[in-house]
Structure 1
Amino acid sequence: MKRAKKKIFADFIAQRGLKTTKQRDIILDSFLSSDRHLSIEDLYLKLRAKHPNIGYATVYRTLKLFAEAGLAREMQFGDGQTRYEHVGEGEHHDHLVCTRCGHIEEFENETIEKLQDEVANSRGFLIERHRLELYGLCSGCRK
């Protein structure tokens, strides 16, 4: 899957007339290997130790390119910080967001999906996309 996403990005870059760079490759590898919702700063700090030549602006611009290429989705969780998550073909999930520590947990629930479809259908509404975010306290913060 990682190889396919790298190909998608390489094709996207070529179509845009941009160059494939070592820095973009490193950023893509790091982004794809993460299982978290990363902010620009999160990814920059993750990269900085091994790759001090990669600047914050490069990480910012590259994450924007990932989103344009359809490899990443920009997410806002009410704290003023944009985070990026992987986009998988046909994949859908929702989020639990801790308002105290900022922990974000993905979940899938077929019952919720079915209920949303039923509500939309009963009103003659066609859902094109949706997001469900539940805000509260994670189990760690509740203790």
Structure 2
Amino acid sequence: MESNEKGAYRTKQREIILDYLKKCQDGHVTIDEVTDHLKNEGNRVGRTTIYRYMEKLADEGFLRKYYIEEGVGACYQYQGNSESACRSHFHLKCVKCGRLFHVSCDFLQQIEEHVYEHHHFLVDNSKTVLYGICEDCQKIEQDDEKKTGRGE
């Protein structure tokens, strides 16, 4: 466990959760995904335990928490004991498969600057999510249209 995590005490369950979060640090995970993964690995850790520990890690800055859509639980990204690069990019959410992507784009940066300079509004990239359909899901839709004859 991070030695500088405030008020940390080590338990086997916390170590298992933290190890998994570190392995997933390039992506985002939900409480349910962590629960399912640990269960599939033979680790019996209760959903409530996972939720409480992940909330604690988020409060202490070790995880970044994203609210992706109303009525759906948050997802989390491990960032360790440092500020995440998520402040410098936007996020794309696929409405078909649910995946969340990081996107660094000069054009989006220009939009952010325009909003600040012309509308005096500071955009928080870590909470900015653009919704649409990812490339993989677009291909699936195109293939489905070809199969049914709608794409011709």
Same fold (TM over 0.5): yes
Match for residue 85 of structure 2 among 91, 95, 104? 91
* Alpha-carbon distance in structure 1 between the residues aligned to 2:46 and 2:7: 20
1:140 aligns with 2:132: no
* Alpha-carbon distance in structure 2 between the residues aligned to 1:7 and 1:126: 38
1:73 aligns with 2:64: yes
Offset, 1:118: 3.5
Offset, 1:128: 7.1
Moved more, 83-92 or 65-74: 83-92
Q: State the TM-score, normalized to the length of structure 1.
A: 0.78
SS at match of 1:65: helix
Structure 2 equivalent of residue 110 of structure 1: 106
**Percent identity of equivalent pairs:** 27
Q: Which amino acid aligns with 1:129?
A: D
Structure 2 equivalent of residue 20 of structure 1: 10
1:127 aligns with 2:122: yes
* Alpha-carbon distance in structure 1 between the residues aligned to 2:63 and 2:42: 22
Relative to structure 1, is the Cα distance of residues 99 and 89 closer, same or farther in structure 2, using a 3 angstrom cutoff?
same
Match for residue 82 of structure 1 among 66, 74, 82? 74
Rg (Cα) greater in structure: 2
> Which consecutive unaligned segments of at least 5 residues does structure 1 have?
none
Q: Which amino acid aligns with 2:56?
A: L
SS at match of 1:7: coil
Q: State the TM-score, normalized to the length of structure 2.
A: 0.74
4+ runs deviating over 6 angstroms: none
Offset, 1:134: 1.3
Question: Is contact 1:13–1:20 with CA below 8 Å preserved after alignment?
Answer: no
CA RMSD of aligned residues (A): 2.3
Moved more, 77-86 or 98-107: 77-86
* Alpha-carbon distance in structure 2 between the residues aligned to 1:41 and 1:90: 23
Structure 1 equivalent of residue 30 of structure 2: 39
Offset, 1:126: 6.3
Relative to structure 1, is the Cα distance of residues 8 and 51 closer, same or farther in structure 2, using a 3 angstrom cutoff?
farther
SS at match of 2:92: strand
The number of residues matched between the two structures is 132
